Amino acid sequence: MDWPATLDEYEKLVTLMNTPRVVIDNTVCPTATVVKVDSVRKDGILLEAVQVLTDLDLSITKAYISSDGRWFMDVFHVTDRYGQKITDERIISYMESSLAAVGDEAAAGLPDPKTFTTIELVGSDRPGLLSDVFAVLTDLGCSVMEAKLWTHKGRIAALLFIREEDSAKPIDDPDKLRRIEALLCNVVRGATTALSSSSIAVASGTHADRRLHQMMHADHAYERALPAGEPSISIQNWNQRGYSIVSVHCYDRPKLLFDVVCTLTDMEYIVFHGTIDTTDDRAYQEFYIRHSDGSPITSETERQRVIQCLQAAIERRSSEGLRLELCEADPIILTVATRSFRENGLSVTRAEMSTNGETAVNCFYVTDAGGHPAKRNSIEAVIERIGASSLKAFEGRPLRRPGSGQGGPEETGGVLMSLGSLVKRNLYNLGLIRTCSVKNAI
C-alpha cells in the first residue's frame, strides 16, 4: 500500500487495524435497505461512500452522518430506482467490498480500465451544439466511446472520451490533437478545451460527474442569477461548537446527496455531522461543517458564495427535458440522431453516453429551442428517422414512494428544525455536547 508522506507509523497501524466496517441489513427498516459504514475518519471519505451508492443508481432516502476525532459513522437508508429494497446478492456483495475500500487509495482504482483520449470542453451553449461537436469528431475519424454533458444558465460543460475509429486506439498524433482543439473552439463560442490521453475507468462514472462539477465551478457558473426560493439553502453558525450548519430544502432527485457533498468537499469543507430525510418528492438535508483549516464560515461573503455554489450544483443536474434513450453503438447513428434533434428544433440539456463493445446506452434530455417541453410531433419525427426499436422516449423515472407532497414553505422551518434537533440529540447522546442550543452568528 502506498502511504501519504504525512502519515507516521502509528497512524499507518491504526488505519490497517481499522479498515471500514460495513453492515448491510434488510430487516431493521420495512421500506429500505440500511447500510452502515464506520471507520477511521479521512477527508473525503463521506463523498467516496456516497459515490459507491449513487454509481449503483440507488436512492438515499435517509442518512445519518457523525464523525469526531479519528472516527466516523454513516448510516444510509437506500432503495433501488423503483423504491424497493436491495435484494440482489451481487449488488449487496459489490456494495460491501466497495464500501470497505473507501479511503484506501490503493484500492480505489476500478477494474478493466479503458484507454481513451479525453476532451474537456467548456463554453457557451446553443441549440444544435452537440450535433456540431459530433460532426467535427466524425469527420476527423474519431469515435465517441463515452460522454457526459451538462448545460446550465447558457453554459455547457462536457467530457468526451474518444479514440481513433480505425485503430480503436487513443489519438496520439499532436497535429491531429491540435486540429481537434481548434475546430471545437470554432464550434463552441468562448470555449476552453483540454485534451489528454489517459486511462479512464468508465464503469463508474464517478470521476466524470465530479469533474463536470469542478469544470462548471471553475467557469463561475454559480455567479449567474438563480430563481429565488428553490432550492432553498440557509447557513447559520453554531459558535459553541465551531460549526457552520448548512440546511438544504428542495425537490428530491437522483444523486442529490452526491452533488451537495461533492460541492462541499471540492470547496474544502469537511462534513462532521449531518441528517438527510426525504418526504414524498421533497428532500431535507442538514450538514455540520468546518473548513479544512478547522474554522466555520466567518463572513457574509463566504456564506453567500457557499449558498450560490450549492444552488448551482443542485440545479445543473436538474435540467428539465424529455428523456430519450438511444441503444446503438454505431458512431454514425449517434451523429445522425444528434443532427435529427437539431433539425427538429430540439435542444439537448443533458446527455450521458456509454459504449461497451456492441452495447450502448445513450441518454439525452431534450427541450425545444426555447427551453420549453418538446413538442410531440418533433419527438415523433426524430423517432421515425432513427427507428422506434433504437430510440425510445421516457416521461421520467418512477417516484420512490407514492404521494406528491409539495412540502411548501410553511413546512420547511419545522422540518429543518426537527432535523437539527435530531442531529444535536445524537451528539448529546454520544457525549459530544452538553446542550442542544444553537446560537446564530450570521
pLDDT in tens, 126-140: 888 999 999 999 999
pLDDT at position 230 is 72
Question: pLDDT, tens digit, for every residue of 204-243?
Answer: 344 789 999 999 998 886 766 555 567 899 999 998 999 9
Write out the residue range of the structural domain in which residue 20 sits: 9-108+232-290+410-429
Q: Which of 68-82, 201-215, 378-392, 427-441 has the lowest mean pLDDT?
A: 427-441
Residue 307 maps to a domain: no
Q: Do 425 and 357 share a structural domain?
A: no
Q: Which helix (H) or strand (E) holds 310?
A: helix 300-316
Q: Do 342 and 194 share a structural domain?
A: yes
Structure-model confidence comparison of residues 418 and 269, the more confident one: 269
Q: How many domains does the chain have?
A: 2
Q: Do 282 and 415 share a structural domain?
A: yes
Q: Do 153 and 65 share a structural domain?
A: no
* Cell 453558525, residue located: 237
Q: Do 146 and 103 share a structural domain?
A: no
Q: Do 273 and 155 share a structural domain?
A: no
Residue 78 has pLDDT above 60, yes or no: yes
Residue 434 maps to a domain: no
Q: Do 273 and 421 share a structural domain?
A: yes
Q: Which of 43-52, 86-95, 192-201, 250-259 has the lowest mean pLDDT?
A: 192-201
CB 159, CB 148: distance < 8 Å: yes
CA 141/CA 259 separation, integer angstroms: 35
Residue 158 maps to a domain: yes
CB 238, CB 297: distance < 8 Å: no
Question: pLDDT, tens digit, for every residue of 155-197?
Answer: 899 999 888 888 888 888 889 988 998 899 888 876 666 665 5
CB 114, CB 355: distance < 8 Å: no
pLDDT, average across residues 409-430: 43
Q: What are residue 273's DSSP bridge partners?
A: 66, 288
Q: Select the highest-mean-pLDDT range: 67-71, 82-86, 109-113, 409-413.
A: 82-86
